[in-house]
Structure 1
């Protein structure tokens, strides 16, 4: 009741910018946080700027938005905050030493006027350079450019202020979190530590490099780094510029690394003692081709993985590594909790190793999508599910070629996973009878909240082969008669009613279902 009243009062206070000189001169420091939260929640960039410029606490944290389900803040609000941080460097009332912006960006594009990871990274780099220019005094031309940028931002904010009363809650941020571990140590040399999740690609790499090499009153720290379309040498150079303590994850996508590039990159991660997540997606690695020096580079790659002592999450997407899983994963000294291996061309020997590895009994999330499963690999998969049954919460076997008979042999093992929350089996060639068997087994798992099931073969237009591939199922048109699909829905609903499972979400929609991604923090 008290917190609700504080939020309501804070909303009213920040809604009228003309009154800010009055309340800013008298509010106690413990009210800055709820006022700033209200300013973000109701899109009041002018209030954000004035609060942050004189922030009375050592730490300002905007973490926790994803956990609390709040929408990302408006772009103008983020820009106002960054500008105010620079201004606060010369304000004796500002005590800020640690600014935490982790999780602030929006990547799904579903929120209007929000800021994506790439835009936030570029804005942060501009802020680093502006802060350095302000600290040094800068040449006259640079000062004029900065003054022009400030005036343009202020004009944009003033225009937004005129629309404030007509704006709804465009963004929401959860405050009150604190940086853990190294983020709570004192800022070096009077610097303000700025923590963020960075998104760097070929267009922004040089700007980020310059910002990281420019010494100034703001120092950029990275919690999660995502890079795209950058060669291994540039990624390694970027890693060498980042402060090593506090970085938890690296996500590399669409970069033509190959085995040699990965063997070069992985040792560059050794200086990051807290790195717990590594994702490599579509990095042009194909061990199905016999190339000179390939085996030696793969051993170097395995050795580099072995140097990541705190690794808990490993995602390897479309790295064609048939028969090499033992070499890679056996180098890890700590069991993994999340293992994602889609499109890896896994062999029966790979699954056999995985089912007996030290990782099997600790896995919370397992993704084997688009790896062909057959009679030879089925015993290993059943043994793997048995070993992981006490910990597994998310499982994806989409596009694995599971027929009715293969699925029938697998269902008893799935039923052992009593803590399973999410099960994905899309794009498998199941008949309507097979889908109904799947739903009956899923409904018997009390913890399961989401089942992504495949469209039954009866719902496709004629012409499919008896056991179509996932690519064929994805491209093949469904029948136009809604009665066919509605009949399936009726049968599925009957199963849920019979089992009393109104809490189980069934969907065959690949685009709109919730994956319930695990929290990485």
Structure 2
């Protein structure tokens, strides 16, 4: 009778071993492999750290996806697991005879703990399930032989206890382990600390980097070579939050130009980049063409927001071949009211067959500018989301806009600004807002059947809230 046929017997065997730690540890070398996953999971839940440590040291499968069990950070459990890895390192295992090849510390869904595979399937299923989710492009044969530790990191200014412990442990063992961080989020850490963290991990393993910082242009230029080493980076989120307003002042000097060029040039090395999101990089103004020329692969998502665009910056979009299959465009916060939007219209026509989301919130577009985009919008048949909040548009042009969306049958989320006629001395008139928003929604319903549509006023300067009209009317706090 197999264990699969007798889950009660399996449970009894596991509980019996947990009650006698010494027996469980001594029996690991003779324990059937089918008992390892349920015993490990039970020991993990019951916080039997000695058994956990010993089981990691004797793990009989290529992969240990322990991160799927660590939904809540626990430094004691983490220490037991890492002590087990140390047991693997200190034993005289030949790399080809060592069973454990991948320690998966990421908190991701994993079927390993739920699948009762046959013994002959366990190795291949565990290895396959893990390896599909991690980079497999080591650049040296030696790295392929090392035990691989895979993790996601979210580091802020105050590191948590389990993060400090792990980073210290990893730093001390980086020469004997293949340390891989797939998703790295760093917020408001000094350049010195970031460099130390990056030295621990193989840069080619980083697929997603999210960096929120108050660094100056000089510091970003120093960081640039680190970015250029991330050959397999697919997603980059970079947000610059200047500590002082004077850092937003751009004065063109040869030194500054060289630093901008040093930063931008690293993008030519990111051969897998598909998702680029940058906010507040004020120094990119006037350098958009230079940046877009560096892109080597087609982007799916582009957001370069909260900076001042020049006319040439806008023109560079239509000229960039890497953007011709774009699916998501976000220019929120880019003030466009003093620019010609003809280049943007040309660009939207270029991506009409692929574009799915268009975010033009807080661009301060005028009637004539938005009207210039109508022919292109009418062609964007794949759009599922549009956002035109915080643009200065009249009732007549909004009506025209809604009529131009008649063929956009896939639109699911629509956000439109309240018409200018709703305001008096820059303050919204609630009764007028409700009346005109209702009228616009009725017009839209005659054109097609919208799924989720809203009309919103500008932010109230007193309470910083909007008046929103969708399924119900929600006025800002000042009018409630």
Normalising by structure 2, what TM-score? 0.68
Is this contact kept in 2: 1:98–1:187, CA < 8 A? no
Is this contact kept in 2: 1:442–1:451, CA < 8 A? no
Which residue of structure 2 aligns with residue 99 of structure 1?
Answer: 103
Which residue of structure 1 aligns with residue 207 of structure 2?
Answer: 248
CA distance in 1, matches of 2:78, 2:318: 49
CA distance in 1, matches of 2:76, 2:137: 23
Which residue of structure 2 aligns with residue 214 of structure 1?
Answer: 172
Is this contact kept in 1: 2:134–2:150, CA < 8 A? no
Is this contact kept in 2: 1:221–1:242, CA < 8 A? yes
Q: Secondary structure at the match of 2:444?
A: helix
Which residue of structure 2 aligns with residue 280 of structure 1?
Answer: 238
Establish whether residue 416 from structure 1 lines up as the match of residue 376 from structure 2.
no
Residues 239, 80 of structure 1: alpha-carbon distance in 2 compared, 3 angstrom cutoff: closer
Equivalent residue in structure 2 for 1:506, among 450, 453, 459: 453
| Alignment gaps of 5+ in structure 1 | 1-5, 66-71, 106-174, 465-475, 514-521
CA distance in 2, matches of 1:245, 1:376: 40
Q: Secondary structure at the match of 1:311?
A: coil
Equivalent residue in structure 2 for 1:404, among 367, 370, 374: 367
Which residue of structure 1 aligns with residue 257 of structure 2?
Answer: 295
What's the CA shift for 1:248?
1.2
Establish whether residue 319 from structure 1 lines up as the match of residue 262 from structure 2.
no
CA distance in 2, matches of 1:212, 1:85: 13
Which residue of structure 2 aligns with residue 181 of structure 1?
Answer: 135
Q: Secondary structure at the match of 1:448?
A: coil
Residues 215, 437 of structure 1: alpha-carbon distance in 2 compared, 3 angstrom cutoff: same
Establish whether residue 445 from structure 1 lines up as the match of residue 400 from structure 2.
no
Residues 487, 231 of structure 1: alpha-carbon distance in 2 compared, 3 angstrom cutoff: same
Which deviations, in whole Å up to 9, do the C-alpha atoms of 1:410-431 show, x marking residues without a partner? 1221121222222222222234
Which deviations, in whole Å up to 9, do the C-alpha atoms of 1:277-328 show, x marking residues without a partner? 3332115474732345111222222322223333333222111232211122
What's the CA shift for 1:227?
1.9
Q: Report matched runs for 1:348-367 at 5 Å.
A: 348-367=311-330
CA distance in 2, matches of 1:408, 1:101: 52
Equivalent residue in structure 2 for 1:229, among 166, 188, 200: 188
CA distance in 2, matches of 1:35, 1:486: 65
CA distance in 1, matches of 2:357, 2:7: 40
Which residue of structure 2 aligns with residue 45 of structure 1?
Answer: 45
Which deviations, in whole Å up to 9, do the C-alpha atoms of 1:311-352 show, x marking residues without a partner? 333222111232211122223333433221111211111111
Equivalent residue in structure 2 for 1:57, among 61, 81, 85: 61
Is this contact kept in 2: 1:312–1:337, CA < 8 A? yes
Q: Report matched runs for 1:354-393 at 5 Å.
A: 354-374=317-337, 376-393=339-356
Is this contact kept in 1: 2:357–2:383, CA < 8 A? yes
Establish whether residue 198 from structure 1 lines up as the match of residue 153 from structure 2.
yes
Which deviations, in whole Å up to 9, do the C-alpha atoms of 1:248-284 show, x marking residues without a partner? 13222122231x2222211223333212333321154
Which residue of structure 1 aligns with residue 72 of structure 2?
Answer: 75
Which deviations, in whole Å up to 9, do the C-alpha atoms of 1:358-379 show, x marking residues without a partner? 2231222211111122474210
Is this contact kept in 1: 2:178–2:202, CA < 8 A? no
Is this contact kept in 1: 2:337–2:366, CA < 8 A? no
Query: How many residues are paired up?
Result: 406
CA distance in 2, matches of 1:74, 1:231: 28
What's the CA shift for 1:391?
2.2
Q: Secondary structure at the match of 2:336?
A: coil
Q: Secondary structure at the match of 1:253?
A: strand
Which residue of structure 2 aligns with residue 69 of structure 1?
Answer: none
CA distance in 2, matches of 1:287, 1:271: 30
CA distance in 2, matches of 1:83, 1:437: 63
